[in-house]
Structures are given as structure tokens and as C-alpha cells.
Structure 1
């Protein structure tokens, strides 16, 4: 993958990652981003140990059966609160909306007396939000539901119970406070309750002049909606597992003294619906299918405030910078390395970033973008694989073209197809060979300038090469003003003798114009002498395995071919008896008798090929 391609791929991946990351809250792929973040940021059972000083009194099915259909007589709440106050509870939060006055004013009066008597009792306020917000960084409401004036709850004892799910409908964030249109701020239910247990220097407060929320001297990292990511210490409906859930008690049991109110001494007590029928439950990161009751969520948020465990997210500019760094690093490594090394870097970068994410989450309480950097790495790796593949295809074509000018193209194709290293050695094969030499080349060299000689030689050799390739031959080598070619290797052909003869006739035909041009210019011409033989030979790679190899054929068949060529007169195509036996029915061939050749004890019968037989 060249740098131009790499840069284009990096830019494309970066733009895709940034666009999907910055689109809406949580980005386009929030349904992947959020679960990934939940999984990697999840805590162990020990880390999630619930605070024993937080207790839940459940308005559950048992209580509904004992006390009656909901809504209840408000004197019931007054009696329970009185018992808890006698048991010296630190703070009491009643998560039950009381928007309308009771039909019996005495009921409201009883609750109002309790509220006036004890200032550590908190009642809920509910902000009604439209179905869709106009902006991602603000929360606009239609109206506020407050407790009826009949219970005479002071403003300082009111707190909002709103939770606002993320795009995947899971509650991860505490809305620390909601501003009213008159400029005042309504604290969260959990904030109000937690403040009763915190010292004066640790309380959660709103600094209006700064527009910031503090817990003690530390800034709470809220977003534009006054939300902060909190920790969950329990799973949904943990009443069946007292070891990991908040201590919880049935409303009716506490009311009827089956549970001693002194058990709640110095505790923060939350009272709220704990049955599906009362429709106060939400999805959380703690379960994929089971919802958590609102009172449980408030209890977890209370503990997050008490332990000062708040998480923040990197801003969009920092997130984009992280994506840019990932793309630059990944693009550089995937461009530089290929194959297994590239895969190693890909896996390594994925693991490294996940480790960094977990470390930032644990040590800094900071959420980095997780899916989008991983997506960028995946896209970069895929693009690098595709780019490397295309580059290798181009390189293969280039090498085949260039290397094929020096060694037989068929050999190059065979080497690339096999995927094996070139090694020394050969195999015995039945082949045909052509040796070609220019007769009169020495005289020609004396009459022409060196540049003209080279030009002429290239033209002749080009004719030879094209003729050999036309009939599927392998150009073995150029030998000065001569050529050696193999037919039937490395690709096997049964009619290799016929192919060799046809290639020789093609050479003779195509050189006619060259010979005529030389005659006009110099008054003489040069012509080919060609020898053709067939038979067994050893074909393969010879030479130095480390430095240079030569694909060629060796053996007596090759030697005889060279002798035939040396005996051929200008314009003659001489073939051996072996070739004659295979092609005599195809070509017009003349017997030339026997000749004595070097290296042979007995004379060799030779033939001259004139042309293809007419039909």
C-alpha cells in the first residue's frame, strides 16, 4: 500500500469515524458504544458492595395485600415516617407522588404534621419532559408536578425524582439538579438524601455564580443537562440476595412492627414502589432484560454521592483527537507491515486501547470513546488488506511483465502460481528445442554503426520472441545474435514438435521484410539458420541458489539441436529424424541425408522444412 493510498484510506476512515462519533448523543452506534462501555467498565462484586447504611422499604405485593389498593391513606405514610423517626433514621425519602389533596383533609393534615415536625423527610417533585428534546445539551420541561399544598411540604424538603435514559433506554446518569424557569434549582432526590449524611464541607451544592456543581471542594463533572455518570452497586431486584443488595423490608412489616424501627438508626431510608404493577421501573446497564425499580436506582445514586464516585466522558474535541491518533498510528503500522505482522499489530492495538480504556475508567473515572476507535482500527485494517492485495496484484503483473522479458514468462507464471521458493534441480521431460542464429551477422556489424547494429539485432530478436510466444514456447535465452527456445516445458504440450516447427516458419516469414530492407540499404542481407530437435532432456533451474538461477534444458537432445543449427545454411530450417517422425504429415519436408556432427559417433539424418502442407 503506497503512501497516497494510505493517506486516502486514513482520511476516509477518520471522516467516517468522526461523523458517526459526533452524530447525536452517544454517536450513531450508541447501541454498540454503550454496551461495550458498560462491559469494560463493569465492577467486581467486591467493588459493587452496597452500603449497609442505605435501606429500602418496599411498597410491594405483600404490603398491597395487607394495607389495600394503591393509592393509600396518607396517614399510613405519616405513621411509618413517625416510626422511622423514633428509630432515629438519618433521612427518609418517600418516593411516592402526592399531587392531589385527599378526599379526607385529616389524612393530609397528618402527613403535614410529620413534615413540619421532621426536616429530614424528603418528598418527590416530577418534571414532565416532552417526548423529544430540542437539543442534546439541555432538558426542557412542560410542567412540574409537586406535592399538594395540603401536606404543606417546605421547599427545602422537596427534590426531583426524574431519571433520563440514554439513547438505548438505559439509566446511567444522575440529574444532579433541574433548573426551574424562575431560576431556582431543584436538587435530585438522591442528592437531597445524601446531603443529610454528609458533613458541611462534603455536601453537594450548586454554585450559581460559577454555573457548577460541587461535592465539597470537588467539581462534579456534569454535562449540559446537569447529568453525571454514576456507579451501580446492585443488580435489579436484589431483595432475594441480601448479600449483594441493599437491605430491604416490606412496608407492611415495618408499619406493623414486625421489623423493629431501631434497625434504621442513622440510615438513609428510601420508601418506594417495588412491584411491576406500580409502573416505576427502568432498564439499567446491570441487566439486559430485568428492569430496576426507581427506588433502587435512587439508592444506588445516593451511594455514588456518598462515595464521591462520579464518571465523566471526554469531550467531543478530545474524542476526535483520540480518533485522529488511532487513525495515524494504525495507518502507519498497517501500511508498513503486511501479513501476520500486520495482524499482530491490529490485535495489539485493539488490546492496547481496551487496556487504556479500562485504566482511564478505573484510575481517572473517565470514559474514553471505545467503539469508534475500534471501528477505525477495523476499517483501517480491512482497507490495508484490500490495498495490499491490490498492490500485490499490480506488483505481480509488473514483475511478470518485467521479469518475463529476461526469463520465460511461463516460468514466472508457474513460480507465482506455486507460491514456492525457486530451488535448484530439474526433471526429465519430453520437449522440443529451437536454436536460431543469424548468418552474416559479423559482416553486418562491420558495415553499420554500433547503435544501428543493436537496433537491427533487436528487430530480429523481437521477431524471434514473438514467434516463440505465439506458439506457446518458452524463450530460454538470447545468445549474442542467437536464440534458444523450449517447447513443452514448463507447461506440457503433446504437440510441442509441431509448435516448434510452426514457430520457425513464422520467424522465416516475418523476417522477409527485414531482409529486403537490408538488401536495399547495404546490397546484401542476413538470414536465419534454424535447428530443431525433440526428445528427452532435463529441464529445471541451474546455477547458484543464493545469487542467480537459470531456467534451461540440458542433455543430448539440446546438444544435437545446437549442432543442427550450426549446420543450417542461411534461410534453412533443419530438423532431426525425431522431429520428422512427429510432423512429416503436417509440413512439406525435404530429406537432406546424413551428416556427421560433433559428439555423435554415427551420422545423423537431417531434414529441411520448407512450408506447411497445402490442404
Structure 2
């Protein structure tokens, strides 16, 4: 199975077929790691001029898109008043501006009013003031401005506007291994705007299959030529590589737009000859921008907007800029992008850091990354990542497939954890070196190989369990089989002596209860009672020995060793009493008789093992301590309490509050024992309850010392708080009797029981 999985994952790595879940998980891991490692800092070099809701509502600007004369005014304000460093547009101006009415006037001059030369002359005089597109174009001239545009991949796409010159021609990438999306059309700016603006860049992102933008292509191919992105164009503009004098080259390959070249460099082969080399990066000046074979660059997001961090870049309302409300120092010398956060303009994108992320901020992050690239390198997806992924998957898959098949469960689990840790550590090491390599395929392959082996082992183990159940099911309760199957050699049915805790419970007056119920009601009654009590016992790790009518026998400490067998046994008894209160309410609603239960527990050496006849055997316990537990259950009625435990049980427990009940000599025992009633876990009792128990135990000491007056005084104080307590009344009667009929001088304070 491991080798089959390895083959599948290797095929996915080299692209023979696509396993969508692997890609989805890898995207999830990349996104989580990106969010965890983002600096969450503000870049004060870049500002975003936001066409926000406030700007769209300003009457002086009108409806969007604003008239080009208003845009020209904004250009003048930005560069003359605010003295920004450069400006990039995440919007396009593809259609002529007709808001001035110049076109209508010209048509009237040529048609309806062509007989009025005065009208025609007036139109000619007004034309320079009403040609808003030309006014806007003039405002772009000789200013560091980069226009934006987009390519369209739809089959019915058209060409709108005028593209800028490409950065590379078809032959420039003849010797490069490249993978570009097919573009069928574009939406660009008006020709006069494109002519006047010094540069332009596309703002097409790469959208992954889950609809999330993680990378942007630095180059887009259209009809064999290659066009740069908005962020790359902005960067070249900022560092001054946008003039014809700045020539660059790749071997003997001339550059249409200077200042950029592809890496790695070839050996100066003529175009179309020599080896086909992968594209590893784009060099702009002294900066190397690492890209993949589609020239995609991972976006170095700075902060997480979904967690309230909106300030990776300062957002300034473009309407406020137009109105002059923004202090000059907020914009002076800044790199600016014009974009929008208005939902109605539909430029909100899904990214790893937010489901509604302004598209303009993607370009701002890319530009910030380019400016910081010498100190904070980009994360890249290098061309050798496929090779590393393939080799890694083959090595890990084959090694694990072989080892997992032979290793026991614990070493296999350790190998699984170590393999996961090694895969993560290796991936983190590459990440720290600037490479974003796949991690999900390795984690999935390791996990699937391990869990497939676990599943196979479980199948084999289940088979062994069935065999074990067939072999031992007649001897031990079914719930023990699973435990024993984990290590069959550790357990034996042979009798052994061990210190355990045994519990006996019995329904008080069950005979009279059964007489008041129909057979079907009695069946339902006893089944529900035994089930609920058994659940409590099993929850505390007890071994259900047997049911004897309405009686239950259980023990702790075998066959599974339990250091806290006494504590767990007493907690089970308390839990049974608590569950009984719920049953009493349910039985009352059914008009069934009330139910009370006595429980006795004893701790001590017992013989445990497979005992019985040749006809039937059972895994059970025997011994004096077992008999004592049964006796204690029987005398709970004498003291009007629900639970009694031996002194050995009390001493072996932890964290439980007990009340000293009496010293007794049960039938069949010569030596007296002290018996106790467990009240509750100490941590769950308040100071008032603890004080009552302390007073009671002091009363018992006075009673045994025959200090009747002190014992009576303390007891009367307790009776005052609970006059209906029958145990209190029992001792009140005893003290009153002994005060008038003093016990013999050899009286040891022991109560003797002659019956079981």
C-alpha cells in the first residue's frame, strides 16, 4: 500500500494527473504560514488613494468614472501641491469622456448648424477646454505615472484601448521554458493617454483553483510579446530604469524596454538555439525578482485585514485629496496608488489574508516587496521545486513503506512523528532560505502510509481479538477482552493473589418492589437499573464480576492493574448513588415503587482468576476481603446509610471525605473493624459539611471513650441541624441507654452482628 501511495503522489508531483485535495491542503498550509510570518507593519513609503464611498458621494466630483478634467485637476493637485513621488493607477480609462458635450457641439457644427460659421468658430475656440481626454492626457505628460490595464482570457474577448510597448518580444524568450496563460483580448487606456503616460503595467493576478490570489505574473504574454505588470513597471519607474539610455541585455538578446533581463543567463546562444533554460527570475537593475516558470511572483502580504489590521499602507480618500483636506506632509514624497475599496466598484479580491481584499493593495504589497528585496528576500517557487518534491516523495515513501511494514506499533508511531517533524523542519529550512516548497504532499504521504499500516494492523488485531474472544470470552467479561488483546502475554487466567477493592450493591426490599410491578415492568425496571449502575462502574474502570438478581458485584485492580483501585471503587459507589437519584425521579414519573440501594466496599488481599466448574467458569475474586464487602453491604440498613467501606478501603483512598460510622464485628470475623461512610470528594464539599463531619468524628471518639456527656452534647448540635437523620437518632438512643445502663468495664465500643 505504501508503494502504491508513493507512486500516486509522485505522479501528482510531476503533473501526470492532479489530486485536488493535495493542492487545497498545500494552499491552506501556505496561507496559514504566510499569516503567521507576516510582519504586520505599516509601509510609510506607499499610500493608497482610495476611491471610497465618501469620494463617490461628493457632488463636486460627480458619478464614477469622474470626468477627465476632474482627474487632470487631481493630477495637478497630487504632483504640484502634494509633491508625490510617483503614481500608479489600478483603474483604466478605456472609453472617451463625453461628459463635456464637445462631441455633440461638433456634430451640431457639422450638421444642424453648419450654416452658422459663428457657431463652428465658437466650438473650435471651446474645444481645448472641453476636450477632457486631452486635458487629462496633458496632465500625465512628463510625470512619473504608470497606467494600468488588463488582459482578458474569455473566448469572446475584444481589444479595447491601446497597449503599451511590450517589455520583451517573442524571440527574446525563445530559449526559455515558459508557461503563460492564453490571452484573447485586453482592456487598456485610450491611445492618447497611453501615449502621454511614461509607462503602463497590467494588473492581472493569477487566481488559484480555490479562487484565491497568491501570486501575480510579472509578465503576461499576448500575441507572442510580453508585457510587464503594474508593480514591476512602478518599480522600474521608481529606480529610474525607464529611459531609452538604460540599455540591458540577456546574452545577445536585445531589450525592447530597458532595465530588465531574464535569469539565468544563457551562454550567449543565438535566439532559438542552445538549451531550453527555465526562467528563475527577472533582474531589474541590481534587484533580482524570483519568479516561477510562468513569471509568477508570490505576493509578500504585510498584514492581515481580517484581524482588524487595515494599515499595511495608509489609505487616504481621493475625494479628500481633491478637496484639499489632506495635510501635505501625508503625501509629500510618497509612492501612490489609485484604487478603490468601494464594494460597488467590484475590486475586492480573495487573498490568503482576507476574503475581501482591495486589489490595489496587492500591487502595493508587490512594490513594497521589490523595494525591500535586498534586505527581505522574496519567497519564491523555484523551477527545481518539482525535482525536489519528486525525490523527497520517493525517498520518504519507499523508506516508510518498507519500515512501517515491520515495525511494532510504538516504534512505528515514533517514526511517524519523526518523519512529520523532519518534513516540517526541512520545509521550514527552505522557507527561511526564501523558497516556498510544497509541504502538504509530504505530510499526506507520511500520514497515509502510517495510517494505512495502522488500519492493516487494526485488521490483523481485530482478527486476533476475535480469536481471543473465542478463546477467553467464556471466562472474562467482554469489556476486558479489548484490554487483554493489547498485550495478550501480559494477562493470564491463572489464579493469583493481589490486593484489590471489591464492591457489592443490593436493592433494599427488592422482593416487595417486584410484587408491585408487572413482569414487563419488572424487566424494564431491573434492566434500566443494572445498565445505569454498570455504566458508572465501567466509567471508573471497574470489572463487572456478576449480577445476582438485583445485586451487583464488581472489583478494581484486575485484570488491569490500578494503583487507585480503592479511590476508583469509592468514586464509583458515590456515582451510583448520584445516578440512583435520577432513576428515582424517572421511576416516580412511571408510578413505580421508590428504590434504595445499599453498597459495601472492602479492600485487601484477594484471589483473582478463572474459577468455577468444568461446565462453567468465570473471572472472579474470592477471599476474606471479598466476604467482608458483602457483609458491609448488608449492614448499611442498620445505620441508615447508603454506602459503607472498610478501614483498609478508607486508608487506601485519596481526596475523599469519610464519616466514622462504628466499630463492628461481623459474622464470621473475630477481629473488629472500623467502618466508614464516604461523603463526597473533599474538593466538592464546603466548609460547613466538613465541619459537620469533624464534629461527628469527635462525637464518635467521645462515645468510644464512654464520655457520654460530651458525645451527647456534640450529637445534639448535629441533630439541631438535621433532626430527621436516623443515624443521629441511632447514636442518641445508644448514648441514652448507656447513660442509664453503663457498659461493662471491658467494653471495647464494638457492635456485634450475628447475621449476614
TM-score, normalized by the shorter chain, greater than 0.5: yes
- Residue 134 of structure 2 aligns with which residue? 109
The answer on whether the counterparts of 1:95 and 1:123 sit within 8 Å (CA) in structure 2 is yes
CA distance in 2, matches of 1:378, 1:204: 48
- Residue 594 of structure 1 aligns with which residue? none
Measure how far apart 1:207 and its partner are. 3.7
The total of aligned residue pairs comes to: 414
The answer on whether the counterparts of 2:3 and 2:398 sit within 8 Å (CA) in structure 1 is no
- Residue 199 of structure 2 aligns with which residue? 157
- Residue 280 of structure 1 aligns with which residue? 347
**Shift in CA distance, 394/277, structure 1 to aligned 2, threshold 3 Å:** closer
CA distance in 2, matches of 1:91, 1:237: 29
- Residue 352 of structure 1 aligns with which residue? 422
- Residue 270 of structure 1 aligns with which residue? 337
Q: Secondary structure at the match of 1:159?
A: strand
- Residue 191 of structure 1 aligns with which residue? 232
CA distance in 1, matches of 2:306, 2:320: 18
2:379 equivalent to 1:311: yes
Measure how far apart 1:390 and its partner are. 5.2
Say which of 283, 295, 301 aligns to 2:366. Answer: 301
Measure how far apart 1:88 and its partner are. 2.5
CA distance in 2, matches of 1:398, 1:136: 61
Residue correspondence of structure 1 range 599-610 to structure 2 within 5 A: none
Measure how far apart 1:158 and its partner are. 1.5
CA offsets 1:269-313 (integer angstroms, 9 cap, x no match): 0011220100112100002xx311111111111112212242223
Say which of 109, 125, 134 aligns to 2:149. Answer: 125
CA distance in 2, matches of 1:427, 1:295: 79
Say which of 90, 101, 105 aligns to 2:85. Answer: 90
Give the TM-score, by structure 1 length.
Answer: 0.59
2:94 equivalent to 1:99: yes
The answer on whether the counterparts of 2:180 and 2:220 sit within 8 Å (CA) in structure 1 is no
**Shift in CA distance, 99/132, structure 1 to aligned 2, threshold 3 Å:** closer
Residue correspondence of structure 1 range 27-426 to structure 2 within 5 A: 27-44=20-37, 47-66=39-58, 67-86=61-80, 87-103=82-98, 104=100, 106-118=131-143, 120-130=144-154, 137-151=179-193, 153-154=195-196, 156-181=198-223, 183=225, 185-198=226-239, 205-207=260-262, 213-217=282-286, 219-236=288-305, 244-287=311-354, 290-308=355-373, 309-313=377-381, 315-361=385-431, 363-389=432-458, 419-421=488-490, 426=495
CA distance in 2, matches of 1:399, 1:132: 70
The runs of 5 or more residues in structure 1 that have no matched partner are 1-8, 429-488, 497-615
CA offsets 1:137-178 (integer angstroms, 9 cap, x no match): 321111122211243534741111111211111111121122
Measure how far apart 1:335 and its partner are. 3.2
The answer on whether the counterparts of 2:306 and 2:353 sit within 8 Å (CA) in structure 1 is no
The answer on whether the counterparts of 1:58 and 1:274 sit within 8 Å (CA) in structure 2 is yes
Measure how far apart 1:69 and its partner are. 1.5
The answer on whether the counterparts of 1:84 and 1:261 sit within 8 Å (CA) in structure 2 is no
CA distance in 1, matches of 2:90, 2:428: 35
CA distance in 2, matches of 1:301, 1:396: 60
Q: Secondary structure at the match of 2:141?
A: helix
Residue correspondence of structure 1 range 426-441 to structure 2 within 5 A: 426=495
CA distance in 2, matches of 1:204, 1:234: 31
**Shift in CA distance, 192/427, structure 1 to aligned 2, threshold 3 Å:** closer
The answer on whether the counterparts of 2:94 and 2:189 sit within 8 Å (CA) in structure 1 is yes
CA offsets 1:383-433 (integer angstroms, 9 cap, x no match): 222333456678999999xxx9xxx9x99xx997682536797579xxxxx
Q: Secondary structure at the match of 1:368?
A: coil
**Shift in CA distance, 251/25, structure 1 to aligned 2, threshold 3 Å:** farther
CA distance in 1, matches of 2:411, 2:467: 25
Larger radius of gyration: 1
The answer on whether the counterparts of 2:303 and 2:309 sit within 8 Å (CA) in structure 1 is no
CA distance in 2, matches of 1:92, 1:167: 32
**Shift in CA distance, 383/393, structure 1 to aligned 2, threshold 3 Å:** same
**Shift in CA distance, 152/10, structure 1 to aligned 2, threshold 3 Å:** closer
CA distance in 1, matches of 2:85, 2:287: 24
The answer on whether the counterparts of 2:92 and 2:149 sit within 8 Å (CA) in structure 1 is yes
CA distance in 1, matches of 2:19, 2:41: 29
CA distance in 1, matches of 2:321, 2:400: 61
CA offsets 1:315-367 (integer angstroms, 9 cap, x no match): 32321111112213333442343223322322232233223222321x22212
CA distance in 1, matches of 2:368, 2:135: 31
The runs of 5 or more residues in structure 2 that have no matched partner are 101-129, 158-176, 249-257, 267-278, 498-608, 617-756
**Shift in CA distance, 387/261, structure 1 to aligned 2, threshold 3 Å:** same
Q: Secondary structure at the match of 1:311?
A: coil
CA distance in 2, matches of 1:194, 1:96: 18
Q: Secondary structure at the match of 1:29?
A: helix
Measure how far apart 1:35 and its partner are. 1.0
The answer on whether the counterparts of 2:181 and 2:221 sit within 8 Å (CA) in structure 1 is no
CA distance in 2, matches of 1:62, 1:270: 18
The answer on whether the counterparts of 2:142 and 2:198 sit within 8 Å (CA) in structure 1 is no
CA distance in 1, matches of 2:491, 2:4: 40
CA offsets 1:83-119 (integer angstroms, 9 cap, x no match): 221232221012221111111452111111112231x
Give the TM-score, by structure 2 length.
Answer: 0.49
CA offsets 1:60-103 (integer angstroms, 9 cap, x no match): 11001112211111122211121221232221012221111111
Q: Secondary structure at the match of 1:178?
A: strand
The answer on whether the counterparts of 1:25 and 1:167 sit within 8 Å (CA) in structure 2 is no
- Residue 549 of structure 1 aligns with which residue? none
